[in-house]
Amino acid sequence: MTRQRTPQPLIEVVGVDAAGAEVARQRLGHGQDPQALLWACGWRAVDALEVSSHSGHRHVLTARFQVAPAQGRPPVPHTAVVHRDRDLVVGPGEVADPYQRVAAYAVVTSERGLLLAQLSGLTSEPGRWGLPGGGLDPHEAPADTVLREVWEESGQRVEVTSLAGIQSSHWVGRAPDGRLEDFHAVRIVYRATCGEPTEPVVHDVGGTTASAAWFPTDDLAGLPLTAGWRAALALWPPHGHDAGGRG
């Protein structure tokens, strides 16, 4: 059975200078990285400022970055290399179907540590851990996606505090329905806090999350994180609450 895809928003990447003036605006194409796109326009992304959501005939997300003139070495985005799923077998004449998926996640901290979600057998990396979050519903703002997904995957109520950044990756692999996909993942990552942490419970049973748990930040080095989320946490380490134990 062919999976019905959720309609995906268009993404506009905007650069603003130190004075707040818009200096660049480009549509994010399939397989492109926002920082690399800005660099091609002559600007270096200094900080991710916000992602605004506009619903009309087509859902549009506008990702604003503070930028400075491009100097030195260009960024090497995760999309620079198109990866392939391990043990992928492509049949004769089979062509990968391009698919760009926009999702929102959060670095969620509390007095109990960092909240992580464990991937289920429906994913290509079952048993590994990553940030809670998931795909946007139609016309849903990314920050609202975080609130919904964190509840579905862990039962925690959180408050989004800021935008951490945007991560992009590109690979060829099998969708859950067996379709060969040329997959471009655009991950909008926020910071969030949980004022009343509880023992995590997965409400979206049978989905891509097998379990969820709070971890002391000192334990992260020894956890089987996905490579992408380990790199993301190196860029956007948890701060604020810092737990010594799971409690």
pLDDT digits (tens, 9 = 90+) for 127-145: 999 999 999 999 999 999 9
Residue 2 falls inside a structural domain: no
Instruction: Quote the CA–CA distance of 233 and 242 in Å, as a whole number.
Output: 15
Stated length of the chain: 247
Examine the domain organization and report whether 59 and 136 are in the same domain: no
Examine the domain organization and report whether 110 and 227 are in the same domain: yes
Domain end among 70, 85, 105: 70
Partners of 45 in the beta sheet?
Answer: 67
Residue 81 falls inside a structural domain: no
Examine the domain organization and report whether 59 and 172 are in the same domain: no
Examine the domain organization and report whether 116 and 189 are in the same domain: yes
Examine the domain organization and report whether 221 and 103 are in the same domain: yes
- Structure confidence at residue 1 (pLDDT): 40
Examine the domain organization and report whether 108 and 181 are in the same domain: yes
Rounded to 10 degrees, the C-alpha dihedral 235/159/120/228 comes to -10
- Structure confidence at residue 106 (pLDDT): 98
Partners of 25 in the beta sheet?
Answer: 14
**245 CB neighbour count, 10 Å cutoff:** 11
Q: What angle do CA 165, 171, 148 make, to 5 degrees?
A: 45
Residue 244 falls inside a structural domain: no
Instruction: Quote the CA–CA distance of 50 and 53 in Å, as a whole number.
Output: 10
**109 CB neighbour count, 10 Å cutoff:** 24
- Structure confidence at residue 3 (pLDDT): 55
User: Does position 247 have pLDDT exceeding 50, yes or no?
Assistant: no
Residue 76 falls inside a structural domain: no
User: Does position 152 have pLDDT exceeding 80, yes or no?
Assistant: yes
Examine the domain organization and report whether 101 and 51 are in the same domain: no
Residue 79 falls inside a structural domain: no
Instruction: Compute and round to an integer the Cα radius of gyration of the chain.
Output: 18
**How does DSSP assign the chain, residue by residue?**
-PPPPPPPPEEEEEEE-TTS-EEEEEE--TT--HHHHHHHTTEEEEEEEEEEEE-SSS-EEEEEEEEEE--SSPP--GGGS-EE-TT----TT--PEEEEEEEEEEEEEETTEEEEEEE-TTSSSTT-EE-SEEEPPTT--HHHHHHHHHHHHH----EEEEEEEEEEEEEEEE-TTS-EEEEEEEEEEEEEE-SS-------STTSSEEEEEEE-GGGGGGS-B-HHHHHHHHHS---SS--SS--
Examine the domain organization and report whether 65 and 100 are in the same domain: no
**8 CB neighbour count, 10 Å cutoff:** 19
Per-residue confidence at 76, pLDDT binned at 50, 70, 90?
A: confident
Residue 190 falls inside a structural domain: yes
Examine the domain organization and report whether 47 and 153 are in the same domain: no
- Structure confidence at residue 245 (pLDDT): 44
Examine the domain organization and report whether 124 and 176 are in the same domain: yes
pLDDT in tens, 160-188: 999 999 999 999 998 878 899 999 999 99
> Which is higher by pLDDT, 84 or 45?
45
- Full domain range(s) for residue 214: 96-235
Instruction: Quote the CA–CA distance of 49 and 164 in Å, as a whole number.
Output: 8
Domain count, the chain: 2
Q: What is the mean pLDDT of residues 90-113?
A: 96
Examine the domain organization and report whether 29 and 117 are in the same domain: no
- pTM of this prediction? 0.92
CATH number at residue 130: 3.90.79.10
- Structure confidence at residue 178 (pLDDT): 87
Residue 86 falls inside a structural domain: no
User: Does position 230 have pLDDT exceeding 70, yes or no?
Assistant: yes
Residue 122 falls inside a structural domain: yes
Examine the domain organization and report whether 143 and 215 are in the same domain: yes
Per-residue confidence at 158, pLDDT binned at 50, 70, 90?
A: very high
User: Does position 94 have pLDDT exceeding 90, yes or no?
Assistant: yes
